[in-house]
Amino acid sequence: MHRRIITSRRRFLSTTAAAAAFTGIGGLAAPFLSRANDRPQITHGLQSGDVSIDSGVVWARADRPSRMLVELATTDSFKNVSNAVFVDALPETDFTAKLLIDGLPAGQDMFYRVRFQDLSAPTITGEPVVGRFRTAPSDKRSISFVWSGDTAGQGWGIDESRGGMRTYATMLKNRPDFFIHNGDTIYADGAIAAEQKMPNGEIWRNIVTEDKSKPAETLTEFRGNYKYNLLDKNLRAFNAEVPMFAQWDDHEVTNNWWPGEPLTRPEHQRKKYVEKNVLLMAARSSRAFHEYMPMRETELEPGRVYRKIGYGPLLDVFMLDMRSYRGPNGEDKEESYGPASHFLGPKQLAWLKRELLNSRATWKVIAADMPLGLVVVYDGDRKWGAEAVANGDDGAPRGRELEFADLLSFIKHAGIRNTVWLTADVHYTAAHYYDPNKAAFQDFEPFWEFVSGPIHAGTFGPNALDKTFGPQPVYVKAPGKDQGQNLPPSDGMQFFGHVGINGTSEQMTVTLKDADDRSLWSKTLDPQFG
């Protein structure tokens, strides 16, 4: 996939010169601002992401061709500006702009102030907006973060009379250091109608936009899905305070897609796709995803989603891409490993093994956009095929399971300690303990997988568990048989997970929570050394 890298033009100025230059811009503009009744506007709030010990990404979008001006300081007074940087927001990137800013102090609250300078009238600048993030610590101090997935799915959009996307406000109350979004950041294949009937007969009333009125096919429509979510005040407030580590799954393009899939299933026909080339849609979606997500880019492989984010001596986060490199969805029961059984794919799998082996962090969190042991059906109309890793036969590894059997065996024999899997996708919350003593494949060390979501979408589940890797359902919160499926967000079954790592004991405590911030279940894990 090819995509314009919007961070390719980046300029850093020295501390003294930066402060003076940036202040000078404001000073020069001041006499004219009273006559400028059409200043550049920040249209969808601020975002930060992929924060490490000494760097982080800052994002914003303008309403016209503009230059994004960013000041950084360690206090919200901005008395001592430590950096001033800029990048241009142009039509080619839908007026989005993002910057990777490095040379920052470790373990420090950083305040960033953004405004846009009109490229056609450089003396005119817009009103500044302030955001914040915290860099990772360089020492073993306590850290915390949250994770979840699935935003604006199944037609449940922004109903302001019901508080909008409330789970984002709840997560913000937890004051996490960062947020892992496990995918389905948008529902590009799900139109948002003005009204949707709820199971209790009430009417859910959505904010609506033209680009969300049909399943996305064009680049404009994919971009419009991100802009729709950012209309929510809770999400904008959350983004301004909490850095995001984003990955993608299927709904960024269309439900259960795989590269090369013909768009001929009944659900594709119901969605009335004009575009029949899923790879072309995926390319457009990928471009929009990278434009609207505050994530680091690589010039060596534009469009890549998988990456490692180091967050100090206690934590490394491994962000996977379980969508872009997979083989065809189907029965998934190949006896030997080959293209048809790829899920991460050989290149990403080799990268993950290498990075896990080289990690010196106490905890290695593997952020996966799909669970390992839950059975997810590919074709809902025919109730056929495997969409996730598990193929549902409970036996020795076959198909995609071969890749993960190899990975889990590698982790064991390489002596890699303290791996924890965090995921979403299935629209309920659960804790799974993978026990080799209860597995068909036993060449691995026990590990935990924690599932949480949706953030703001229909609630479903629970799914069946495949016994190949011995997952034990220690905790499950999902709709009961009398509740039905696709429960609206107002029913309260929206979920996220909270992780705290103690700087002294190095213990990890994982807590599964709901939209009302109730702690549903918690587990403290002791680190293993040696």
In this prediction, residues 314-330 reach a mean pLDDT of 97
pTM metric for this prediction: 0.93
Which residue ranges make up each domain of the chain? 11-134, 145-198+211-226+248-525
In the predicted structure, residue 246 carries a pLDDT above the cut 70:
yes
Percent residues over pLDDT 90 in the chain: 90
Question: Cα separation of 444 and 19, whole Å?
Answer: 54
374: its two tokens: 């839950």
C-alpha distance from residue 438 to each of 241, 394, 399, 434, 435 (Å): 43, 11, 20, 8, 6
Q: What are phi and psi of 84, to 5 degrees?
A: -135, 125
The three-class DSSP label of residue 4 is: coil
Q: What is the pLDDT of residues 75-131, one digit of tens each?
A: 999 998 877 889 999 999 999 999 999 999 999 999 999 999 999 999 999 999 999
Strands (E), 53-177: 56-62, 66-73, 81-89, 96-101, 109-118, 129-134, 143-148
Q: What is the pLDDT of residues 406-427, one digit of tens each?
A: 999 999 999 999 999 999 999 9
Question: Cα separation of 493 and 513, whole Å?
Answer: 10
* CATH number for region 145-198+211-226+248-525: 3.60.21.70
Rg (CA), the chain: 23
In the predicted structure, residue 17 carries a pLDDT above the cut 70:
no
66: its two tokens: 């503009």
**pLDDT at residue 302 in the model:** 85
Q: What is the pLDDT of residues 59-78, one digit of tens each?
A: 999 999 999 999 999 999 99
Tell me: domain 11-134, CATH 2.40.30.10, correct? no
Q: What is the pLDDT of residues 333-342, one digit of tens each?
A: 999 999 999 9
C-alpha distance from residue 519 to each of 247, 354, 359, 422 (Å): 25, 36, 31, 17
Reported as a pLDDT band with limits 50, 70 and 90, residue 490 is very high
| Topology alike, domains 11-134 and 145-198+211-226+248-525 | no
In the predicted structure, residue 434 carries a pLDDT above the cut 70:
yes
Question: Cα separation of 419 and 279, whole Å?
Answer: 33
C-alpha distance from residue 136 to each of 104, 325, 497 (Å): 10, 31, 20
User: What is the SS3 assignment for 485-514?
Assistant: CCECHHHCCCEEEEEEECCCCCCEEEEEEE
**pLDDT at residue 36 in the model:** 54
Q: What does pLDDT average to over the chain?
A: 93
Q: What are phi and psi of 190, to 5 degrees?
A: -115, 110
